[in-house]
Structure 1
Amino acid sequence: MAAEAKTRLFRRRLRSRIIASLAAFGVGLTSLFAIATFFLRGNIENQLVDSWLANEAANFVEFKRENPSPEAQYQFSRQILIWVRSPRTIANMPYEWQKLETGVYDFSEENEGERLNYKLAVHRANDIISFLRYDYTQETLSERNLLLSLLGAILVFSVLAVLLGIWSSSRVMQPVADLVTRLKSFAGGGQPEALAPYFADDEVGQLAAAFDDYSAKLTELVKRDREFNADVSHELRTPLAVIRGATELMQAQPDLNDKSALRLARIERAVAQCSDLIDALLTLSRSERGHGAADLRKIVEQLIDTHRLALRNKPVTLQLEDGPHVVIDAPESVVSVALNNLVGNAVKYTSEGAVRVRVLRDRVEIIDNGPGIDPEDARQLFERGFRGKSSLGSKGAGIGLAIVTRLCDLYGWEVSLAPNPEGGAIATLRLLR
């Protein structure tokens, strides 16, 4: 697996692709030149030698007609032997030669333990037949030596092509490497330094200018986002504080009846939930993990009390099973928002029965006996805007579970929904690993 990963990384790197391209070009060009040289040299040499031998065989026939003499064997050099025969005495020649027509032929045979390569030129006339044998053994060895030399040249030029590719790629990629270095040097605070002035007006310079434009737009967006978050935090918290204060004053009235007290309690819990939701959303907007000491059991008890107030006459009971007290490093508001969405969904889709909440050492489970969930919908329910088949007829925009997913991604938690074998569904928020 590690070797495959390195291979994929090598293929992805631009410098590696430049080296591979130049090396392939050098090897391919050298190989084509060597092949062309080898075959052109062989073909041209064969054509010239064959033409010369055929002419010499024909000329010798004319020479013998002008200078009649007994049939004989003539040796002009170490490589050339000539035999002149009449059609009646051709039987004295080697059997494989006797039926050859006029032309040039290639032969290879063993001679005293050595391989002998030669060309045989035959010229037939009505009265005279000439055989001209040209020893081609040395030329064959030269051809082999040429082939080995060309293979060596391919190897040498391949190494040179790779070295040239490494050198040229470093020159070509140097501006890109400088651009990457400057991009990595950004500290992430304030307005980044402009890149374009450090590069020539070429493709890399245009890329640096595009980065500068994008950086300026991104910095402006970040600034506006921070200002918006600060405005939202201030503008929303102020009315919530007013509502909370007014609620506390009204709850302190001695003549408050039970119905009004219940309504004020619901308002108080709604204000607390809004404050928690604002904190959680601002945390997501800043992508900064907050710290704290969140008591899971305490938070679950508060959420159960809140949802009990909202149940009205719905025949659903909320139960908190016995379990350990677990404290995790996270703001109470963030944990409250995550659990509130899960408990709220369980209460919403349970028309009658019970919703049980179980606090364990590493997770919180919410178990209901509602209509359950489709296994095909289980994975998609945490996508923004997705609503499962069991949500038909219910109100909601399908963003509550998406917020839970984003909080889990930020804090390294895990959330899941699965059908309950006993009926209903089980939502699990794993907070510790």
Structure 2
Amino acid sequence: MEFKQSLAQRIIIAFALMSALVAGAFAMGIVATVHLVEEKLISAGLGGDLQRLLLMDSVSDWSHRPEPDQLFYFSGGPGDFELPKDLRHLEPGFHEVFREQLSYHAMVEVVDGRRYVLLQDQSDFEERERVLFAVVLVGFVLSLALAVFLGWILARKVMAPVVRLARQVRHRDQLLGLAPPLAPDYAADEVGELAVAFDATLGRLRQALTRERLFTSDVSHELRTPLMVLASSCELLLENPGIDQRGRNQVERIARACEEMRELVQTFLTLARAQREESSASPQQTVTQVADGLLCLWRDPIESKGLILNFEPGNPPDARYNATLLNAVMGNLLRNALHYTETGFIRLALTDKGFMIEDSGVGIPEEKREAMFEPFVRGSEKRGEGLGLGLSLVQRICENQGWTVSLTTMEPNGCRFEVELTQTAK
């Protein structure tokens, strides 16, 4: 069974349960002991009183009278001392007798065939029992409350280093290479061992992030040279008057692919720097400027496919953002819409929080909708040769910049991507 309570709550519950068990057992022991002792004392007292009252019958010594709270009966006794029928069945010894609404302690003894019964009103005894029960109950409740209070204090003291360690681990600065180790701040106990384990894990994570950043930066940097060669070769081929229209179209297609690859390489280089404060050195543009540039780039491919491109300029804020990353996000979403739309429209709408891209394409299968932003996940495995990295790159850029991207389906088909640019570039 999995517990849903926090560790501090479990400590408090454990203290309360332990107190309930101990205090309950102690209270029941007190009540049982007091009850047993009092019954023994009352039994002994009634036995002595009964021996004294036997003289009333044996020697006719009527100076021995019962106490005011006692009733004395015996077989063949005169008047009120005659043994009532409801007491004749009692065996010798100590009993509890209920007569009408009153209860009595009874001592019975048989001497020479005669039955003697002494009753004593136990109202005082019951009153003492009620007081005892009340005292024990109050003590039980107070002990339970004290246990909860002590458990709360202990839970705070025990959990304080764990909470502090969790707060330090959650802090993003711990991923920086210059972040101090956590273990020296803690004692050599279980929490200290946990801090050592976190230091080791964070160290491996820093190394992995550094390797990934260096790899991405190096690969992206090395790709710039061949891309420049391809772009220059395309320009020279387009200047050749002897090339036919079919060859010119192919060269223009290669040139567009080179430009897209160059922008993608620049995006990877920007992400490889990882630090947002460094992004201020990148070109800054508004959402409208980025949208205008991408519309010029994508209008011909979209309309040549027979699709309608709708643009709603809206009223976006004048904030400026990292142009490279914003181009990558909006461009990848437009490319995704073009890739999965055969008929209908593609709409780009600017909003007061960011922008929205809608299409009338094949949509996203229900079973893949939650995983579409994961690497190598594609909406339809039979369409094109893409690797399913576009939406993953969009998600990564948005997380890096503090933006949010969401995906919803449209009826009867198609999908809508909404991007909120909640953090402007500095």
Which residue identity is paired with 2:259? A
The answer to whether the 8 A contact 1:366-1:427 is kept is yes
Distance 1:344 1:128 in 2: 114
User: Is 1:300 matched up with 2:295?
Assistant: yes
Distance 2:47 2:325 in 1: 101
Q: Match for 2:97 among 92, 107, 120?
A: 107
The answer to whether the 8 A contact 1:196-1:208 is kept is yes
Distance 2:378 2:165 in 1: 45
The answer to whether the 8 A contact 1:26-1:158 is kept is yes
User: Is 1:158 matched up with 2:149?
Assistant: no
1:116/1:158 Cα in 2 relative to 1: closer, same or farther (>3 Å)?
Answer: same
1:412/1:212 Cα in 2 relative to 1: closer, same or farther (>3 Å)?
Answer: closer
1:356/1:287 Cα in 2 relative to 1: closer, same or farther (>3 Å)?
Answer: farther
Query: Aligned runs of 1:352-367 on 2, under 5 Å?
Result: 354-362=343-351, 363-367=355-359
The answer to whether the 8 A contact 1:53-1:132 is kept is yes
Question: Aligned residues: percent identity?
Answer: 26
Query: Aligned runs of 1:366-381 on 2, under 5 Å?
Result: 366-368=358-360, 372-373=362-363, 376=366, 379-380=369-370
Match of 1:234 in 2: 221
The answer to whether the 8 A contact 2:267-2:325 is kept is yes
Match of 1:137 in 2: 123
* Contiguous gaps of at least 5 residues in structure 1: 1-7
Query: Aligned runs of 1:24-423 on 2, under 5 Å?
Result: 24-46=17-39, 49-50=42-43, 53=46, 68-70=58-60, 74-75=64-65, 77=67, 82-86=72-76, 92-108=82-98, 117-124=103-110, 127-177=113-163, 179-180=165-166, 183=169, 187-188=173-174, 189-253=176-240, 255-282=242-269, 291-293=284-286, 294-306=289-301, 316-321=305-310, 323-324=312-313, 329-349=320-340, 354-362=343-351, 363-368=355-360, 372-373=362-363, 376=366, 379-380=369-370, 382-384=372-374, 385-388=376-379, 391-392=381-382, 394-407=384-397, 412-416=403-407, 418=409, 421=412
Q: CA deviation at 1:334?
A: 3.9
Deviations 1:398-425 (A, max 9, x none): 443444444455563545363554xx63
Deviations 1:38-66 (A, max 9, x none): 12321453356447756975x679x669x
Q: CA deviation at 1:271?
A: 1.0
The answer to whether the 8 A contact 2:71-2:120 is kept is yes
1:95/1:417 Cα in 2 relative to 1: closer, same or farther (>3 Å)?
Answer: closer
Aligned residue pairs total: 403
1:72/1:387 Cα in 2 relative to 1: closer, same or farther (>3 Å)?
Answer: farther
Distance 2:357 2:164 in 1: 52
Q: What is the alpha-carbon root mean square deviation over aligned residues?
A: 4.1
Q: CA deviation at 1:159?
A: 3.7
Distance 2:143 2:341 in 1: 77
Deviations 1:222-241 (A, max 9, x none): 22223223212311222212
Which residue identity is paired with 1:412? W
The answer to whether the 8 A contact 2:74-2:81 is kept is no
The answer to whether the 8 A contact 1:121-1:132 is kept is yes
1:413/1:193 Cα in 2 relative to 1: closer, same or farther (>3 Å)?
Answer: closer
Deviations 1:292-351 (A, max 9, x none): 33431431231233567xx7xxxx324434643878744454454445545445554566
Q: CA deviation at 1:82?
A: 3.8
Distance 2:357 2:72 in 1: 107
* SS, match of residue 273 in structure 1: helix
